[in-house]
Amino acid sequence: MNTIITKFGGSSLADANQFKKVKDIICANESRKYVVPSAPGKRNSKDSKITDLLYLCHAHVNAGISLDDVFNHIRERYVGIVHDLKLNFNIEEHLSIIKKDLEDGASSDYAASRGEYLNSLILSNYLGFEFVDAKDVIVFNNDGSLDSNATHCALRETLSSIPRAVIPGFYGADKEGNIVTFSRGGSDVTGALVTASLNADLYENWTDVSGFLMADPRIINNPKPISTITYTELRELSYMGASVLHEDAIFPVREVGIPINIKNTNRPEDKGTFIVEDLLKSDLQTITGIAGKKDFTVISIAKALMNSELGFCRKLLSILEQHNVSFENMPSGIDTVCLVISDSQLKNKKESIIDEIKRSCNPDSIVVHPNMALITTVGKGMTKQKGVAAKIFTALSKADINIRMIDQGSSEINILVGIENDNFEKAIHAIYDAFN
């Protein structure tokens, strides 16, 4: 029988009704043997995520303020779920221990992790699956980085004798037993680690959307769904902000060639999106998706004979490194080079970076262009195909949009354009319409 690892996000487990959907999904396929839950998420737009409330409890204790009010909200959520599911499970006992730990000054990682811990205890009880604490199977080094080898060994060893289990997402423990969390959204990473360690057949990541869409639905009305996407394409799209999945969740499963299926807990009949290593020829679309982001600044540097000056770019990039700033893109000409940097990276550092470039690189001119947006059009199917770039540029020109920058890597899976912020939505529409 196949083995499927299922990870359910916070909105999939936000209340008892959602728990029921999750149980139906798991019962519908016996291969769904190991389940990785998140903490309860928002039930509506005004609601709070349990993880946020737990961080708040920790902040209250740190500031010497009582955590009673916030903790009561947390208690109500969990007690409500247990009650509505009619479970004979003493959640109060666990809540009291956690409250005391928090009052005694437990770490912020410990506080945040309890959302997944409690939700997994409830879910394991509800499903009749064994509970495996992530602190025993997800191993961190004492510097906070993941110890992948130890994690794979611990997962394999523990789960080999347990046919069906619930393993909380988001956290593990270091070698001293201290609880350590991944960055926000990290339950995806736990699911990926369990999948890779057990060499499972599929990693199902259940959320509240039916997979990826070809473009942002806030801009394009009802964009087409993406049925299959490669890891490389997804990386190009997520790099521009299309994030449904934690970035670190991709590498463990990709390494061992296991596909991920993004599924919707509220519409389990939808196929969702498969993320795979390679596409069948029949699945190749010219364009898989379009994504973009506003608010970049371009620093354009010119110097005569730049192309023959050894070490020019090294000096330039080391200035960014010294300022702890990463760049998004670096298009260049024979005597010019542009640094495209997101405004969030550049804040408060622009003047100092420019001064340093003047001092170290001695350029003929430096010009700063703010308010730039980047749009990437991604598709493995565009490789070796003629006319894709022409189609994008014609669409933008017809929409009266000036292209300020163009970039295409030799892998030919994406074409990046830089335009004015003000033209962002119009440009996404123009490109989407040209291919649909």
With CB under 6 A as the contact rule, the residue among 51, 120, 195, 265 that binds ligand ASP is 51
185 sits near ligand ASP (criterion: CB under 6 A): yes
With CB under 6 A as the contact rule, the residue among 39, 123, 249, 361 that binds ligand ASP is 39
Stretches 59-67, 103-111, 179-187, 212-220: which one binds ligand ASP (CB under 6 A)? Answer: 179-187
DSSP label at residue 219: T
Nearest partner of 202 among 245, 253, 246, 151, judged by Cα = 253
172 sits near ligand ASP (criterion: CB under 6 A): no
> 396 Cβ partners below 8 Å, 6+ apart?
403, 417, 419, 427, 430, 431
Q: Which class for 250: exposed (0-12), middle (13-18), buried (19 or more C-beta within 10 A)?
A: buried
Task: Report how many residues bind ligand ASP under the rule CB under 6 A.
Answer: 13
Phi and psi, residue 268, nearest 5°: -60, -20
Stretches 182-190, 203-211, 276-284, 422-430: which one binds ligand ASP (CB under 6 A)? Answer: 182-190
For ligand ASP, give the closer residue by CB, 191 or 223.
191
Torsional sign, CA 262, 187, 162, 25: negative
Q: How far apart are CA 116 and CA 110, in angstroms?
A: 11
For ligand ASP, give the closer residue by CB, 91 or 338.
91
> Residue 206 Cβ, how far from ligand ASP at the closest point, in Å?
12
Does the annotation flag 51 for ligand binding? yes
49 sits near ligand ASP (criterion: CB under 6 A): yes
Does the annotation flag 10 for ligand binding? yes
The alpha-helical segments, DSSP class H, found in 175-219 are 187-197
For ligand ASP, give the closer residue by CB, 55 or 274.
55
CB 215 within 8 A of CB 379: no
Tokens of 81: 């779920």
With CB under 6 A as the contact rule, the residue among 20, 100, 184, 358 that binds ligand ASP is 184
Which of the residues 394 through 423 are near ligand ASP (CB under 6 A)? none
Q: How far apart are CA 232 and CA 229, in angstroms?
A: 8
For ligand ASP, give the closer residue by CB, 188 or 328.
188
Site string for ligand ASP, 104-133 (x = CB under 6 A): -----------x------------------
The half-sphere exposure of 100 on its side-chain side, counting CA atoms within 13 A, is 6
Does the annotation flag 9 for ligand binding? yes
CB 373 within 8 A of CB 380: no
For ligand ASP, give the closer residue by CB, 120 or 423.
120
**Which residue type, as a one-letter code, is found at position 55?**
Y
Does the annotation flag 181 for ligand binding? no
> Residue 171 Cβ, how far from ligand ASP at the closest point, in Å?
9
Nearest partner of 195 among 159, 161, 229, judged by Cα = 159
For 270-281, give one letter per residue: b (16+ CB within 10 A) or e: eebbbbbeebee
For ligand ASP, give the closer residue by CB, 45 or 160.
45
Stretches 178-186, 212-220, 321-329, 378-386: which one binds ligand ASP (CB under 6 A)? Answer: 178-186
With CB under 6 A as the contact rule, the residue among 11, 12, 18, 38 that binds ligand ASP is 38
Continuous segment of H or E residues that includes residue 420: strand 414-420
Residues lying near ligand ASP in the complex (CB under 6 A) are found at 10, 38-39, 49, 51, 115, 169-170, 184-188
